[in-house]
Amino acid sequence: MQSPSHTYNSAGYFTVSLTVTGPGGSDTMTKTNYIHVTETAAPVAAFSGSPTSGYGPPLTVQFTDQSTGAITNWWWSFGDGFFSGEQNPSHTYMSMGRFTVSLTVTGPGGSDTETKTDFISVHHISDIDQDGDVDQDDAQIILGVAVGLLAHNPDCDLNRDGAVNAMDAIMCLKVVK
C-alpha cells in the first residue's frame, strides 16, 4: 500500500523501512527508531468535595476531580441515586444521611475507581451528634449544654437566641415527634 496506516500496540522504538519497486528496479529506505511509542499513563482516580458535611437538605456539594493519567471519561456516583459524567460536577443532596461517593475515570490506559464511604453527611439542624437521626440523644446533648454538664456548643442554640436552654431542646424534640 502506498500510504498505509498502522497501529502500534506496545511501547518502544520502532524502525520503519519502505521498499519501492518499479520497472527500473527497487530501492529501500530505512529509518532506525523512527517511531517512538510512549506508554500511556494509566488513570488513577482521585477527588475531593466541599463541603463534605452540612445542614440540610438541601446541601450542595462541589466535587473536584484530582485524578491523574490520561483520562477521557469521568463517571460520578453521588450515593443518593444520582450520577454525573462531568469532570467537576456540583450536586445537591435532597435528603438527610451519609452518602458514599465514587469516581470512575477511564482513559487509553484503562480505568480506575476511587470510592469514599460516607463521604458526604447531610444532617438536620437538630441532629446535634450528626449521626443522621434527630432523636432523644440530640435533645439530651442540648440539655447537657444548658445545665453546664457539656461544653458550650453553638450548634445547640437551635433558635439562635444566643443561649442554649430548654427551648432549644423543645425545638429538637418536636422534630423527633
**Binding to other proteins (CB under 8 A): which residues in 100-159?**
136, 139-140, 142-144, 146-149, 159
Number of residues that bind other proteins (CB under 8 A): 22
Interface pattern 156-175 for other proteins (x via CB under 8 A): ---x-----xxx-xxxxxx-
Could you tell me the smallest distance in angstroms from the CB atom of residue 141 to other proteins?
9
72 vs 106: CA distance, rounded Å: 6
CA atoms within 13 A on the CB side of 27: 4
Q: Between 42 and 167, whose beta carbon lies closer to other proteins?
A: 167
**Binding to other proteins (CB under 8 A): which residues in 25-84?**
none
Burial (Cβ within 10 Å: 0-12, 13-18, ≥19) of residue 104: middle
In whole angstroms, how far apart are CA 22 and each of 19, 28, 31, 108? 10, 12, 21, 41
Q: Answer whether 135's CB lies under 8 Å from 101's CB.
A: no
Could you tell me the smallest distance in angstroms from the CB atom of residue 166 to other proteins?
3
Q: Answer whether 51's CB lies under 8 Å from 121's CB.
A: no
Q: Between 92 and 165, whose beta carbon lies closer to other proteins?
A: 165
Q: Between 120 and 172, whose beta carbon lies closer to other proteins?
A: 172
Could you tell me the smallest distance in angstroms from the CB atom of residue 52 to other proteins?
30
Could you tell me the smallest distance in angstroms from the CB atom of residue 86 to other proteins?
43
Cα pseudo-dihedral 162, 166, 172, 177, rounded to 10: -160
Written as one letter, the residue type at 134 is V
Could you tell me the smallest distance in angstroms from the CB atom of residue 53 to other proteins?
25
Contacts with other proteins by CB under 8 A lie at 136, 139-140, 142-144, 146-149, 159, 165-167, 169-174, 176-177
